[in-house]
Structure 1
Amino acid sequence: MNLQTLVPEKDILSFWVLTDPHLFKDDSGALMGIPTWQSFAAAQQLLDEGADAWLLTGDLAQDHQPQTYQLLKDALAGRPWFAIPGNHDDPAAMNAVFGEPVKRLRSKHWQVLLLNSHDPGKVSGWLTDAELALIDEAANDDLHTLVVVHHHPLPCGSTWLDQHQLKNGEALLARMAKLPKAKAVLFGHIHQEVDRLAGDVRLLATPSTCVQFMPNSQDFAVDALGPGCRQLKLLPDGNIETRVLRVAPEQFAVDKHASGY
């Protein structure tokens, strides 16, 4: 397991979470009318505090191109960041540019597991046995645990999205239930904010930095909310402080009549 220790002396571990930017190698590339590099930059302008690292939770490159990953790497230069792939990504191209992926972050009180749910050729997600085994290995450390994955592990209430969820999400949560200090799953994919409990585990979804999807919709539908991001503060006692920030909706006009993307 590729392990990195973050600020071992700090009691509070802080992250900015940005997800589903759907970037292109052409900086004018747009998704459903929203220029994704511009909306990604606008989301970054919301970050009003420092952080120990940024977490990018998938669907980074809409066009799967190595050049897009390189542009993103260049844009993130000078700050600590970690990324996982989504269904729209090409993990091989991503790793070729970003390097070997870090699978676990560790600090004084917490460990963060960065799992790959990309299932080649599918929109839905799947965690291989090797990825699930990382959760079992985490039991060796007496630390609060946050799992980061792209796909939502349980239905979110939108029929069209839930057919593309993490297909073995129940297995993920069952493994986490065996950890003495499993605290939360952080994910993207659904382009909307979620903060709820599944048993004792908190489920946190972060809005996309581009298009937003309408919650509780049977068919594909977009929301008028602006692009967003999430701040996380992992506290020594295992609690999580979090807030979602959004760009003003009038800053970017989404094509509400689109039938998909």
Structure 2
Amino acid sequence: MTLYSVEMDVSAAGANRNIVVAQITDLHLLADRESELMGYCTYSMLSDTVDAILEHDTRPDVCLLTGDISQDESVESYELARCELERLGIPVFWIPGNHDERGGAETVFGASENIRRLTKLVTADWDFIYLDTCRQGAGEGYLNDRDFERFVSEVEASTGGGKNIAVVMHHHPVPTQTPLLDGYMLLDNERLLKTLDDHRQVKLVICGHVHGDYRIRYGNQMIEMCPATCFQWEKGTSTMTTENWRGFRVFEFSPSGYRSALILV
């Protein structure tokens, strides 16, 4: 397994050093590109999302892919993802979700020059730090002691360097008030929330998992949850009720902060 700590050359972003990041999440691809999940052809919807990113007014510098890339954990599903992601022509940093088979994903994506497993992405003013919330066989989120120690160390290093920090993780760490989702959030969230409380330079937490558009303020941080590329869960639902829309998020990071926009596909 290879994790990347990458310093990004942002000279192309202009003198203001602003960085544009696209986020996509929860692709839920299957081995057969024609197969459907809950009545949705997840592959064609990913392809439509990639088209929308390519057609967007502002070209992203990088893309964050925040987990649940596959639904069936097949090598073929990751190969489909690789083909679509490579069309973006920009670096793609991925993290695993609870549906992913990490070994297969690492093997397939390792053959691509543009698709990299994220641990820490370093830019001039912002550091993007991955936190692992996935436990094999569990839909809900849990912290891994060893990884959490690594995460805190990375946060402290970035804090000491005067950086703004964005945490990148799969599960949401605070409730959304949608019961279907909140039974599968990061359950042992106390250590993370204390770390957020103690490190005010953490400005943003970027999540997937929820299949919906949520923005929740927690203390000094904004927690932004991105819609899936396939389908969404109805807000407030306790049952598996879907909504037929999809989207991605675009962030623009500057030395003084960030702004974000939801882009519907």
| TM-score under structure 1 length normalisation | 0.88
Letter matched to residue 138 of structure 1: V
Deviation by residue 1:5-25 (Cα, 9 ceiling, x = unmatched) = 112545212111110010112
Q: Please state if 1:52 is matched with 2:61.
A: yes
Match of 1:18 in 2: 24
1:5 aligned residue: 7
In the alignment, structure 1 segments of 5+ residues that lack a partner are 248-261
Map of 1:87 onto structure 2: 98
Q: For the residues of structure 2 that align with 1:2 and 1:116, how far apart are their CA atoms? A: 14
Listed one character per residue, the Cα deviations across residues 114-167 of structure 1 (whole Å, up to 9, x for unaligned) are: 222211111001121222221333212221000011101011111121111111
Match of 1:110 among 126, 132, 150: 126
Separation in structure 1 between the aligned mates of residue 122 and residue 28 of structure 2, nearest angstrom: 29
Amino acid across the alignment from 1:61: S
1:68 maps to 2:77: yes
Aligned to 1:243: 261
Q: Is the 8 A contact 1:213 1:221 kept in 2?
A: yes
Conserved? CA contact 1:233–1:242, under 8 Å: yes
Residue 81 of structure 1: how far off its partner (Å): 0.3
TM-score, length basis structure 2: 0.87
Match of 1:138? 155
Q: 2: CA distance between counterparts of 1:15 and 1:160?
A: 29
Q: Which has the larger displacement, 34-43 or 2-11?
A: 2-11
- Which residue pairs with 1:43 in the alignment? 49
2:139 aligns to what SS in structure 1?
Answer: coil
- Give 2:113's aligned residue: none
Moved more, 104-113 or 180-189: 180-189
Is 1:213 the counterpart of 2:229 in the alignment? no
Give the AA of the match of 2:228.
Answer: S
**Deviates most, 199-208 or 214-223:** 214-223
Q: Give the equivalent residue in structure 2 for 1:191.
A: 211
From 209, 221, 227, the equivalent of 2:246 is: 227
What does 1:143-222 align with in structure 2 at a 5 Å threshold?
143-222=163-242
Identity %: 27
Opposite residue 106 of structure 2, the aligned amino acid is N
SS in 1 for 2:129: strand
The 2-side partners of 1:135 and 1:217 are apart by 34
Structure 1 contact 7–52 (Cα < 8 Å) conserved: no
Per-residue CA distance 1:19-52 (angstroms, 9 max, x = gap): 0010112110211111111111112222202111
Instruction: Note if contact 1:21-1:209 (Cα within 8 Å) is conserved in structure 2.
Output: yes
> Separation in 2 of the partners of 1:178 and 1:137?
14
Does the residue aligned with 1:31 lie in a helix, a strand or coil? Answer: coil
- The alignment's C-alpha RMSD in Å is 1.6
* Separation in structure 2 between the aligned mates of residue 179 and residue 52 of structure 1, nearest angstrom: 27
8 Å CA contact retained: 2:211, 2:233: yes
- Count of residues in Structure 1 that have an aligned counterpart in Structure 2: 245
Runs of 4+ displaced beyond 6 Å? none
Contact 1:158-1:219 at 8 Å conserved across structures: no
Counterpart secondary structure, 2:232:
coil
Contact 2:29 2:77 (8 Å CA) reproduced: yes
* Structure 1 counterpart of 2:7, one-letter code: T
Partner of 1:254 in structure 2? none
Distance 1:130 1:228, change over 3 A: same
